Amino acid sequence: MIGAVVATFLTASVEWVEAYTILLAVALSIGWRRAAGAGLCALGALAVLTGVGTLGLAHLGNLVVLQFVVGFFLVLFGVRWLGKAIARRAGLKKLHDEAAEFAALRERADIFDARVAWAIAFNGVLLEGLEVWLIVVALGVQTHHTLAAAGAALAAAVLVLATGFLVRGPLAKVPENTIKFTVGCGILAFGTFWVLEALGYRWPFGEFSILVLFGFNVTGGLAVAQAYKTRLA
C-alpha cells in the first residue's frame, strides 16, 4: 500500500504543478474565482471518472484478467515516462520549463477572453489530471486502496496549491524530471510484476521482487541516459 500511495503522490505532484501553471496564467486574466471554478469542475470530472473506472474494473470479475489489464496499463504508462525521463536526462529532449510554459500561455491573444480562458483552465487541469486518474484507479483497484490513492492525489494538490500561494509564481524549481524518472521506474516495476504474475509466473521473492525491479529500472535507466549523453558529447 505504501508503494502505491507514494507513487500516486509523486505522480500527482508533477501533474498538479503543470496544472497550477495553467491555472495561474488563466487566473491573472479572468480572476482567481473563475479560474478556480474551472479547476474544480475538472477535478469533479476526474472524481466521476475515478468512480466509473474503479467500478468498471471491479466488475471485470476475473481477478487474473483485472491484474493483467491494470499491469498492462501501468507498463504502457511507465515505459513512456521512463523513456521521456531518459531522453531529458541525456539531453535528447528539453527539460520541462514551467516559467517558459507560463510565459507562452500569457502571450496567447485569446487568454483575455473569459470563455476561452475558462476552457483553457478546465482542459489543462483535466488533461494533466488524467494521468493521475490512471494511477489512482490502476494502483488503487489492484491494491484495494483506491481511497488512500485518491487521498494521496488530493494531498499532492493541496501541497502544490499551498506552495504556489507562497511562491506567487510558476513552480519552476520542482525537480520534475527526477520525480518523473523515479515514478516511471516505480510504475514500470508494479506493471512488470502484475503482468507476469497474471500470466502465471511465480516471482522468486514474492512482492519484494517489485523492489528488485525498481532497482533494476533505476540502475538501467541511469546507465542508458549516461550512454546517450556520452555518445552526444
Q: Which residues bind another protein (CB under 8 A)?
A: 72-73, 75-80, 82-84, 86-87, 90, 92-93, 123, 126-127, 130-131, 134, 184, 188, 192, 195-196, 199-201, 203-204, 209, 213, 216-217, 220-221, 224-225, 228
Q: How far is the CB of 127 from another protein (least distance, A)?
A: 5
Q: Distance between CA 180 and CA 209 in Å, rounded? A: 21
Residue number with CB closer to another protein (164 or 186): 186
**Residue 95 · residue 88 · CB < 8 Å:** yes
Residue number with CB closer to another protein (112 or 208): 208
Q: How far is the CB of 199 from another protein (least distance, A)?
A: 5
Residue number with CB closer to another protein (140 or 184): 184
**Residue 129 · residue 15 · CB < 8 Å:** yes
Q: How far is the CB of 174 from another protein (least distance, A)?
A: 21
Q: Distance between CA 135 and CA 197 in Å, rounded? A: 19
Q: How far is the CB of 119 from another protein (least distance, A)?
A: 13
**Residue 156 · residue 53 · CB < 8 Å:** no
3-state DSSP percent of the chain in helix, strand and coil, to 5: 85, 0, 15
